[in-house]
Homo-oligomer: A and B are copies of this chain.
Amino acid sequence: MIPPIPRPTIYDVAARAGVSKSLVSLVLRGSANVSPSRRRAVDAAIEELGYRPSRAASSLAGSRSRTIGVVIDDFGNPWFVDLLRGLRSVLDPEEFHVTVADLQLDAVSGRNPVDGFLAMHAEGLVLAAEPEPAMLERLTIPTVVAGSRECIPSGADIVATDDVLGARMALQHLFALGHRSIGHLTGRSGAARLRLAGYRESMSEAGLPALVTGELGGTTEGAGYAAAGELLDDHPGVTAIFAANDTMALGALAALRERGREVPRQVSVAGYDNTAIAAASYLNLTSVDNHSDDIGVDAARALLARIGDPEREPRHILRKPSLVTRSSTTKPPP
């Protein structure tokens, strides 16, 4: 368990391979100007000694940490997994290290994840959460905001899917099925606000009244349950419910069952995010897919571009979502 010998350093490798430490460094960084024989010798020495370069030393000496920080909202809400996958598909080949911090968990101990990334000299930041504006002070590294957020640090790139459009797509689908009395469950978040806007626009264009609940609540399953309950009590006539996300939709299902309303025969339900929840065959929820993996890819590219050229004008990429139709939505009862 204890390292019998202290960790080998680049000097140990050099000695073993019979070369200079600089040559080892060259091999480590994959320089082209190393003779094959030396390279083999160094590789062998590395292998034999079980040498691993020290990140701390290389980032200190090279003034490049090759680290990208990702701030997400809550590990418990797995929408970020696809985002991460997308980010890494671009960043891994470039030998960047992606580290993730969760705003919720950090908040418990009063930590500031942005500070943490700054302390580790992260070369770039992906904001996939709604951070406190105070956290963004002195944010001097390339930053890209992923997803729709309330508070955008100046100079940051933005990569998001069009949540207004996504909501409109869901509504379009419900209209096409024949629904006219459609309620919406919202909550306090940047994304929810835009989805609400899309809902309002669609309803108003169709000449229908907006039926919205949950404006003051969160976007959790419990909040969805509460908001749906309120909606159903105030407007018993709704034939469809569009929720700001899948978890809220799950909550709505409970509220509906409690009131003896069958889904989708009596009431259709649509969610947002196309998470595993929506895809589970037991639930099989119609949901708007915001293609987080693509967002991740674009965000990573934007970051790389900005790291390469800090003077680059911030860009704003808005992707199109798509609707995944499943069995939770159907025609309204006659």
Which of these binds chain B: A36-44, A80-88, A160-168?
A: A80-88
Among B75, B155, B310, contact of A84 (Cβ-Cβ < 8 Å): B75
Q: What is the distance, in angstroms, from A105's C-beta to the closest C-beta of chain B?
A: 6
Asked if A75 contacts B78 (CB within 8 A), the reply is: yes
Asked if A282 contacts B253 (CB within 8 A), the reply is: yes
Hey, which chain B residues are within 8 Å of A210, CB to CB?
none
The reply on A53 being an interface residue by CB < 8 A is: yes
Hey, which chain B residues are within 8 Å of A138, CB to CB?
50
The reply on A250 being an interface residue by CB < 8 A is: yes
Q: Tell me whether chain A's interface is mostly helix, strand or loop, or mixed.
A: mixed
Hey, which chain B residues are within 8 Å of A50, CB to CB?
138
Hey, which chain B residues are within 8 Å of A57, CB to CB?
56, 60
The reply on A1 being an interface residue by CB < 8 A is: yes
The reply on A116 being an interface residue by CB < 8 A is: yes
Q: In the complex the two chains form, what is the Cα distance from A93 to B118 in whole Å?
A: 20
Among B65, B75, B80, B88, contact of A80 (Cβ-Cβ < 8 Å): B75
Among B118, B225, B251, contact of A52 (Cβ-Cβ < 8 Å): B118
The reply on A32 being an interface residue by CB < 8 A is: no
The reply on A177 being an interface residue by CB < 8 A is: no
Nearest CB to that of A153 among chain B residues?
Answer: B1
Among B56, B111, B251, contact of A56 (Cβ-Cβ < 8 Å): B56
Q: In the complex the two chains form, what is the Cα distance from A140 to B3 in whole Å?
A: 6
Listed A/B pairs (24) with beta-carbon separation below 8 Å: A1-B155, A1-B306, A2-B140, A2-B310, A2-B311, A52-B119, A56-B59, A56-B65, A60-B60, A75-B78, A75-B84, A76-B78, A76-B276, A81-B105, A85-B105, A89-B109, A92-B108, A92-B109, A92-B111, A225-B281, A250-B280, A250-B282, A253-B282, A254-B280
A residues bordering B, Cβ < 8 Å? Answer: 1-3, 50, 52-57, 59-60, 65, 75-78, 80-81, 84-85, 88-89, 92-93, 97, 99-100, 102, 105, 108-109, 111, 115-116, 118-121, 138, 140, 142-143, 155, 221-222, 225, 250-251, 253-254, 257, 276-277, 280-282, 284, 306, 310-311
